Amino acid sequence: MTSKQPKPTVAELEILQVLWEGGARSVREIQRVMNAVKPTGYTTVLKLLQIMTEKGLVNRDESQRPQIYRARYPREHTQRQLLHDLAERAFGGSVKALVLQALAGPKSSRKELEEMERLLDRMEGESK
C-alpha cells in the first residue's frame, strides 16, 4: 500500500459511499442521495468532487453532459488503505492490536463472528 495514495476525508468518504453503492453518477444525483440523509448543497458536492478529482479519488467522464463521476478505487481497496494507515498511526503497525481493539468494542453478531472464523480458517490454510 503506497503512502502517496490520497486519503479521503470524512465528507469525501460520504461521496464515495454513494458512488460505491449506486455506481457512477452526476453531481445532481450524488447531491440528491446525500441530501436525503442530511441537508447537502449542490455547490458543496460539486466542490468536493472537484477536489476529489484532483486528488485522484474519483474519475470524471467529461464526454457527456452532465459530467459523470465514478470512484477510482473499489471500496475494499480504500478500506484496506485506511486500516493500514490507522494501524500504523494508532497501533504502531500492529494489526493484531488493531483487531483485538476492534473485537473489544461493540458486540459482533453471530453472523459476523462466523464470517471472521471462516476468514481466519482460510488465512490459516494459506499459510501452511
* 34 and 67 housed in the same domain: yes
> Number of structural domains, the chain?
2
How far CA 38 is from CA of 11, 34, 44, 82, in Å, comes to 12, 6, 13, 24
* 79 and 123 housed in the same domain: no
**Which CATH number covers residue 59?**
1.10.10.10
Residue 99 backbone class (left: φ over 0; alpha: ψ -120 to 50; beta: rest): alpha
* 29 and 68 housed in the same domain: yes
Chunk the chain into consecutive blocks of 10 residues (it has 128) and report each block's average pLDDT, rounded to whole numbers. Answer: 75 98 98 96 98 97 94 95 92 87 83 87 79
The pLDDT value given to residue 6: 87
**115: containing domain:** 94-128
The pLDDT value given to residue 128: 65
